[in-house]
Structure 1
């Protein structure tokens, strides 16, 4: 029995996965906006900040940026990029926030913004990086 899939089937699975990530991205973005509307400027500012912060990992490799190939992330920035782009991290923090007595809504809004960022990245085809800085392919 072969485990190799036909190219069309792999492409279909990839499209379904990306559509699911896009639906998640819309959900988390809407939730972040709702938290901002319901809880004021601190929640909105933190949601927007955490929507942008994961890509600041690129700054860790800005000195080497001219020495790498197009589409490659400098290897020095890869651990930072990958840790900020793992969906399990903000999701686990949401669970911790939910089950602890901590009750400051802007924290949850920030986590929603972070999840929205990761989900939009996955929907657009950007995933985690290899040690060399290239895109991993699922």
Structure 2
């Protein structure tokens, strides 16, 4: 996919069925995350909120340093793309969720699990809305 300087952001070319499946997963994961946060309260709620916003912290990488191109709506600076793509891969969130299985981590296990769960909620929401990974140039794929 090529983009001209005047072109804006484009969304994922995923089929409506794939986006609907991500939407269903989003709803199920959101219900689970809210249930877990309400069940445990306290730091688990904080961890869930942090997990939900964590993937988009990659945008902060793009606002620092010199800008190679004039700002183009929808385009992420190249230096932020690897971080953005890493933080928007479901497997990374699942690995975080599995970190709660490490022995002797029971004091933080629930919070870590819910951080990863909320992170996965974020990714599912993005995919359902048509926002996927970025190209090396910073555009939506």
Where on the TM-score scale, by shorter chain, does this alignment land: which range?
0.7 to 0.9
- Using the TM superposition, give the Cα deviation of residue 53 of structure 1 relative to its aligned residue in structure 2, in angstroms: 1.4
**In the superposition, relative to structure 1, how do residues 18 and 105 fare at CA in structure 2: closer, same or farther (>3 Å)?**
same
Higher helix share: 1
- Say which of 75, 78, 98 aligns to 1:72: 75
- Using the TM superposition, give the Cα deviation of residue 95 of structure 1 relative to its aligned residue in structure 2, in angstroms: 3.5
The 3-state SS of whatever aligns with 2:76 is coil
Superimposed CA distance per residue, residues 26-79 of structure 1 (whole angstroms, 9 cap, x where no aligned partner): 111111111111111211111011101111111101143972322111101101
Q: Is the 8 A contact 1:65 1:73 kept in 2?
A: no
Q: Is the 8 A contact 1:57 1:77 kept in 2?
A: yes
Partners in 2 of 1:38 and 1:135 — Cα distance?
Answer: 37
| Structure 2 partner of 1:45 | 46
| Contiguous gaps of at least 5 residues in structure 2 | 1-12
Q: Is the 8 A contact 2:97 2:114 kept in 1?
A: no
Bigger mean CA offset, 57-66 vs 20-29: 57-66
Partners in 1 of 2:98 and 2:78 — Cα distance?
Answer: 31
Q: Is the 8 A contact 1:35 1:106 kept in 2?
A: no
| Structure 1 partner of 2:17 | 16
Count of residue correspondences: 124
TM-score (norm 1): 0.81
TM-score (norm 2): 0.80
| Structure 2 partner of 1:93 | 96
1:55 is aligned to 2:64: no
